[in-house]
Amino acid sequence: MSTSERPRRRGRQAEAARNDLRLLAAAREVFTTLGADAPVSAVAERAGVGIATLYRRYGTKEELLQKLTVLAADQYSAAARTALAASDPWEGLAGYVRDCVAFGPGSLAPIAGTVRFTVEMEQAGRRSDELAELVVARAHDAGVLRADATTVDVFLVIEQFSRRPPVPTAEDPNARERLVALVLDGLRARPDNAEFPLPGHAPSAARYDELWNAP
């Protein structure tokens, strides 16, 4: 390869990477607001690229959805590592919840069961689950998280607040932040937690396995 060809190749690779990021960001917005049945043409339009560009990167809609779920798991993992690095276990847990809600991986829950579960998805999900368990265990060990709150409870909080309305307004982020703060306050360990336990039974992680492995 000549010296003049190298900058052009790097330029093409950089442009392809930028297009990929735009596609993934647009795909998340489209599928989390319109559902997994949304057409890929809506993704291309939101990303500002041609449909041919999308199909060059992702041969099928299913491939795009699978990539989104891996990206979501990787973002969960990154947030958990940041939480574990925090000096205060409670601030680490609270920051983990806020970060995950902010970038919205939990909003991809409706995709569960609509795509084939790949090895890459399984590995990324296992990593993120293990890291989340560490974040919650650290908060429990420090006595700052109520004893009857589980990792799956935390996942469900993130999932609920990650959902985005089809037509967002300027007030949505403000309302979401306030509600997340209220829920986090309810998760804090207090002397009277034993007198007022959480209702029902702890949710099972098997629910997620069943959803994602559904045909």
Q: Which residue has the higher pLDDT, 116 or 113?
A: 116
Provide, rounded to the nearest whole percent, the portion of the chain with pLDDT above 70. 82
- What residue spans define the domains of the chain? 1-59, 62-212
Is 66:36 a contact under the CB 8 Å cutoff? no
pLDDT given for residue 123 in this prediction: 94
Provide, rounded to the nearest whole percent, the portion of the chain with pLDDT above 90. 39
Confidence bin at 91 (pLDDT 50/70/90): very high
Region 159-178 average pLDDT: 73
Q: What is the Cα–Cα distance from 159 to 157, expressed in whole angstroms?
A: 5
DSSP, collapsed to helix, strand or coil, labels residue 106 as helix
Contacts of 141 (CB under 8 A, 6+ apart): 89
Average pLDDT score, the chain: 84
Region 124-138 average pLDDT: 95
Q: Give the pLDDT confidence of 170-201 residue by residue, as tens digits.
A: 567 788 889 999 999 999 999 999 889 989 88
* pLDDT above 60 (res 215): no
- Tell me which DSSP letter residue 148 carries: T
pLDDT given for residue 47 in this prediction: 87
Region 90-103 average pLDDT: 94
* pLDDT above 80 (res 82): yes
Q: Give the pLDDT confidence of 7-42 residue by residue, as tens digits.
A: 555 666 677 677 777 888 888 888 877 777 889 999
Q: Which residues pair with 188 in a beta bridge?
A: 145
Q: Which residue has the higher pLDDT, 107 or 96?
A: 96
CATH code linked to domain 62-212:
1.10.357.10
Confidence bin at 49 (pLDDT 50/70/90): confident
Contacts of 176 (CB under 8 A, 6+ apart): 101, 161
Q: Dig out the tokens for 166 from the structure.
A: 């089809």
- Is the full-model pTM beyond 0.75? yes
Task: Return the C-alpha torsion angle 61, 65, 71, 76, nearest 10.
Answer: 170
